[in-house]
Amino acid sequence: MKNRIITYRQRIDALLAHPPDGTDWDSVLHEHLTQVSFFQHERLIHLIVTVTFALLTMTGLAVYCIAEYMPILAMIGLFMILLVPYIGHYYTLENEVQKMYKQYDMMLQNVHKSGADSHKI
């Protein structure tokens, strides 16, 4: 998913930097909104998973601090091994979607410039 979102965002950056003559901004805008909704869904799922693993890690740490039950340290370690990559992936998703919002604003400006539609900002 990381490669997909970055590749898509870079493709749109290139399109916005050097748009071909006669670009149908309405269809580009529609496709972009569809892609953003897919990535927002992915972001929500990863937020839920990340928060769940963070809560499980903190719960395990609390159990260890209260009961000093040594085997719980293995569970905490496993949760940390998963939590760190989840945080990194969520960070990428969040930042890329934020960049896509800016792309959307630029596309809206192009729609207004071309006079192709009467979208409102």
Residue 45 lies in a domain: yes
Residue 101 lies in a domain: yes
Q: What is the DSSP string of the chain?
A: -HHHHHHHHHHHHHHHHSPPTT--HHHHHHHHHHHHHHHHHHHHHHHHHHHHHHHHHHHHHHHHHHH--TTHHHHHHHHHHHHHHHHHHHHHHHHHHHHHHHHHHHHHHHHHHHT------
Count of the separate structural domains present in the chain: 1
pTM beyond 0.85: no
Residue 23 lies in a domain: no
Residue 62 lies in a domain: yes
Range of the domain at 82: 28-112
Residue 118 lies in a domain: no
pLDDT, one tens digit for every residue, the chain (121 residues): 889 999 999 999 999 999 998 889 999 999 999 999 999 999 999 999 999 999 999 999 999 999 988 899 999 999 999 999 999 999 999 999 999 999 999 999 988 887 744 444 4
